[in-house]
């Protein structure tokens, strides 16, 4: 992307980040290639940032901020100020003199800001704060008319109009007014009166046709009852037809005795499901449906109502219903059913025709429309207040937001915490500063694990208020020996409030190279401890078995005739044990010979041995620590991080502080409760002395002091005597 603006960049986290330091940078933000932005999107909620400011920037209201919205906010703010460089020197209050009054928008903003200050009793104020706009918006929102195009019931001056507004709410639901109270807008008002008129016209059409309402006002209830009974009555007559077709089917279609046995042993109720599934009456060939006696008890009440409200009014008095009469009833109600399918204004039907006619005959519609017009007339005033609030908030918050979105300057400079840092977790003598709020730890952990951080998810609770939240803390220094699920700590949020924190989940990754160095030795010690514990448990079990066997043998001693013959010592076993001990001794001797054979290179041998043991673990940890990336950790929280934001070893050491004694502190090293390992120390000292003596003997140093000692393998043998050696000279006479 071509640009005429000269940008400045700084290096942090392993990549170049733009350094925003002037108003021109903000005004030309649309010329900065989005590939150079650290983030492309972030959530509006869950950040340590003013949520109202983020909501004002989120123009599409989708709960996320994106690059175009950030650019639009920066350009608008710069256009409203005489000198955009003022954004980098804010003091929390917007000076009125900083507003650009050379444009129409600027003039309106300045005029509205002065009006707000006058309304608050500050006519001589030279600056306006966020708190001033919040107070004005709050007061304005508490009025009956606030320019949002919604009227509440309290805005009406008479009870009848208030009741009509409430009726509209009951039928179509409420719109929330800026005051937070339920109300209606013009669209719902028009819909209500249109539906009310259509419903009454529909009803009038039916009333004028005798065929549509054969039972008059009782027709709707009768039709509903017929609709409910139709499947069962049709089922009864279908069974009767089947019985007429073949008498052998009568026993089957009347249900078998075993069907009654399924519930006959229980306490019966007339509405049990098993009984409701039986026919309405006993099925016989061509038998009419009885309506009074001999009917299924589960349906008796509904059949009685059907008999009184439908059958007798339409067909006259009778106690049974034939199939042709049943078809006749359906035919008489068919026009109503057809008419009811074309019902209009169903949403207002519950108010009743009388109430609807009363409302339509009144002037309630005109009255409410006038209230809506009065409310809309205040819209420009409220919009002006909102514009001033937006400018004041952007003046205070825009640059800090950009330094957490366009670049991560706040995170890497470490002068101000980043907006995604929720606070500090104190646990295991460490202070973790890289803590984020999390809504779903299970979902978050899937992606966050790729960040290569050692992560501890914690449930945080404030017992006094009952507040709860979940955080994830990145441990970037120390070790993980004492970090286990269930451990408790204290979390301090950005407001300084303390929370009880409990680890609920851990994502394991290397924490430091120091931890990796000691990891093989710790694993070996844990293995030895486990093996010793297993052997001890096995020995204890075997001992208990032997004691039990001995006790049983003692109890049955009188029954024993001949004591068992003691087994002789197996010579072969003894020989095998001797060979094994000899092999171990030889191997240990060869190891000592190789070790002491290094001579003056012995320290390098020790170092090489340490590197062989700890080296692979340290290399793997170093490779993983170099891959620590902030991106997946934030992406799992809804961000769209556009760079591989690394966290180096030095930065990781800063993000997790380890307990240190303060400078000049006095330290008493005497621990009255320390373990007295005298025996262990003596054994270790003897081992060291033995090794030193063996080394001195091996290199021949000890033979110089004690010539009687045998020569070491390293000593060179004395040259052999030759036969041609001249004899010694003869002594003089």
Question: Are 56 and 163 in the same domain?
Answer: no
Residue 583: inside a domain: no
In a domain, 568, yes or no: no
Q: Can you list the positions of beta strands (E) in 441-581?
A: 454-462, 467-475, 488-493, 498-507
Q: What is the pLDDT of residue 541?
A: 83
The last residue of one of the domains, among 659, 691, 708, is 659
**Residue 186 within a domain:** yes
Let me know whether 271 and 325 are in one domain.
yes
Residue 125 belongs to some domain of the structure: yes
What tokens appear for 131 in the block? 């708190």
Question: pTM of this prediction?
Answer: 0.64
Q: For 266-318, give the DSSP string.
A: SPP-TT-HHHHTS-SB---TT--EESSSSB-GGGHHHHHHHIIIIIHHHH-S-
The average confidence (pLDDT) of the chain is 84
Same domain, 52 and 121: yes
The structural domain count of the chain equals: 4
Contact indicator for 445, 76 with CB cutoff of 8 Å? no
Question: What is the number of residues in the chain?
Answer: 733
Cα distance between residue 201 and residue 197, in whole Å: 6
Q: State whether 45 and 138 are in the same domain.
A: yes
Is 50 in the same domain as 132?
Answer: yes
- Angle separating helix axes 186-207 and 353-361, nearest 10 degrees: 120
List of the chain residues with pLDDT < 50? 1, 581, 733
In a domain, 392, yes or no: yes
Alpha helix (H) residue ranges in 362-487: 364-376, 379-402, 409-413, 441-448
Question: Furthest-apart CA pair in the chain: how many Å?
Answer: 178
628, part of any domain: yes
β-pairing, 423-427 with 430-432? Answer: antiparallel
Do 339 and 454 fall within a single domain?
A: no
Residue 568 DSSP code = P
Distance CA 185, CA 368 (A): 10
Residue 527 shares a structural domain with residue 431: yes
pLDDT of residue 55: 93
Question: Do 267 and 336 reside in the same domain of the chain?
Answer: yes
- CB count within 10 Å of CB 708 equals 5
Listed in sequence order, the residues at least 6 apart from 652 whose beta carbon sits closer than 8 Å to its beta carbon are 476, 477, 512, 625, 628
d(Cα 648, Cα 509) in Å, to the nearest integer?
Answer: 15
Distance CA 682, CA 244 (A): 110
In a domain? residue 405 = yes
540 is a domain residue = yes
Which range marks the domain in which residue 276 is found? 216-344
Out of 289, 322, 344, a domain closes at 344
124 and 168 part of one domain = no
Three-state DSSP at 550 gives helix
Cα–Cα distance for residue pair 690/732, rounded to 1 Å: 54
* Rounded Cα–Cα distance for residues 60 and 56 (Å): 10
pLDDT digits (tens, 9 = 90+) for 56-92: 999 998 999 999 999 999 999 999 999 999 999 867 8
Rg (CA), the chain: 47
Q: Do 165 and 78 reside in the same domain of the chain?
A: no
Domain co-membership, 365 together with 399: no
Residue 726 is predicted with a pLDDT of 58
495, 625: one domain:
yes
């Amino acid at each position: 992307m071509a640009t005429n603006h000269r940008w400045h960049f700084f290096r942090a986290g392993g990549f170049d980040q733009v350094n925003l330091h002037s108003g021109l940078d903000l005004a030309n933000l649309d010329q900065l290639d989005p590939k150079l932005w650290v983030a492309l999107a972030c959530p509006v909620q869950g950040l340590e940032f003013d949520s109202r400011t983020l909501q004002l920037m989120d123009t599409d209201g989708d709960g996320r901020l994106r690059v175009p919205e950030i650019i639009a906010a920066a350009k608008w703010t710069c256009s409203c100020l005489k000198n955009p460089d003022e954004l980098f020197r804010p003091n929390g209050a917007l000076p009125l003199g900083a507003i650009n009054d050379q444009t129409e928008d600027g003039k309106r903003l300045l005029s509205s800001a002065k009006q707000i200050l006058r309304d608050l009793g500050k006519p001589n104020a030279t600056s306006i704060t966020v708190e001033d706009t919040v107070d004005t918006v709050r007061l304005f929102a508490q009025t009956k008319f606030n320019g949002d195009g919604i009227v509440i019931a309290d805005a009406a001056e008479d009870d009848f109009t208030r009741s009509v507004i409430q009726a509209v709410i009951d039928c179509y639901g409420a719109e929330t007014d800026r005051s937070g109270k339920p109300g209606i807008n013009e669209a719902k008002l028009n819909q209500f009166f249109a539906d009310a008129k259509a419903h009454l016209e529909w009803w009038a059409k039916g009333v004028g046709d005798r065929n549509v309402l054969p039972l008059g006002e009782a027709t709707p209830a009768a039709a509903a009852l017929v609709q409910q009974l139709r499947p069962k009555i049709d089922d009864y007559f279908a069974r009767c037809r089947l019985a007429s077709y073949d008498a052998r089917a009568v026993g089957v279609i009347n249900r078998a005795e075993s069907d009654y046995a399924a519930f006959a042993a229980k306490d019966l109720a007339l509405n049990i499901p098993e009984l409701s599934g039986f026919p309405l009456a006993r099925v016989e060939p061509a038998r009419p449906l009885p309506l009074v006696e001999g009917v299924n008890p589960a349906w008796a009440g509904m059949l009685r109502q059907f008999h009184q409200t439908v059958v007798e009014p339409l067909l006259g008095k009778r106690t049974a219903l034939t199939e042709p009469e049943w078809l006749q009833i359906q035919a008489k109600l068919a026009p109503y059913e057809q008419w009811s399918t074309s019902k209009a204004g169903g949403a207002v039907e519950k108010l009743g025709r009388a109430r609807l006619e009363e409302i339509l005959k009144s002037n309630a519609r005109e009255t409410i429309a006038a209230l809506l017009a009065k409310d809309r007339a205040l819209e420009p005033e409220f919009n002006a207040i909102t514009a001033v609030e937006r400018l004041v908030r952007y003046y205070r918050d825009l640059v800090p937001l950009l330094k957490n979105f366009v670049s991560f300057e706040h995170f890497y400079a470490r002068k101000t915490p980043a907006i995604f840092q929720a606070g500090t977790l104190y646990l295991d003598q460490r202070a973790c500063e890289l803590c984020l709020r999390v809504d779903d730890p299970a979902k978050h952990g899937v992606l966050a694990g790729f960040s290569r951080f050692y992560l501890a998810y914690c449930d945080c609770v404030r017992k006094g208020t009952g507040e709860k939240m979940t955080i994830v803390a990145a441990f970037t220094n120390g070790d993980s020996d004492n970090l286990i699920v269930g451990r408790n700590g204290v979390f301090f949020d950005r407001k300084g409030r303390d929370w009880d924190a409990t680890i609920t989940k851990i994502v394991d990754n290397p924490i430091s190279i120091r931890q990796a160095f000691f990891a093989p030795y710790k694993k070996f010690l844990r293995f030895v401890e486990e093996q010793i514990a297993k052997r001890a448990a096995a020995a204890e079990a075997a001992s208990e078995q032997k004691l039990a066997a001995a006790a049983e043998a003692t109890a049955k001693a009188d029954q024993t005739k001949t004591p068992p013959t003691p087994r002789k010592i197996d010579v072969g076993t003894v020989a095998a044990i001797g060979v094994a001990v000899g092999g171990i001794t030889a191997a240990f001797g060869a190891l000592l010979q190789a070790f002491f054979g290094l001579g003056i290179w012995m320290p390098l041998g020790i170092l090489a041995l340490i590197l062989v043991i700890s080296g692979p673990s340290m290399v793997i940890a170093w490779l993983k620590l170099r891959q620590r990336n902030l991106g997946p950790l934030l992406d799992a929280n809804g961000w769209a991080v556009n760079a591989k934001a690394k966290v180096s070893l030095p930065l990781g050491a800063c993000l997790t502080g380890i307990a240190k004694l303060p400078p000049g502190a006095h330290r008493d090293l005497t621990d009255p409760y320390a373990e007295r390992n005298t025996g262990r120390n003596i054994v270790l000292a003897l081992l060291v002395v033995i090794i030193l003596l063996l080394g001195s003997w091996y290199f021949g140093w000890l033979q110089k002091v004690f010539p009687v000692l045998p020569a070491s393998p390293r000593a060179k043998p004395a040259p052999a005597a030759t036969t041609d050696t001249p004899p010694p000279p003869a002594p003089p006479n």
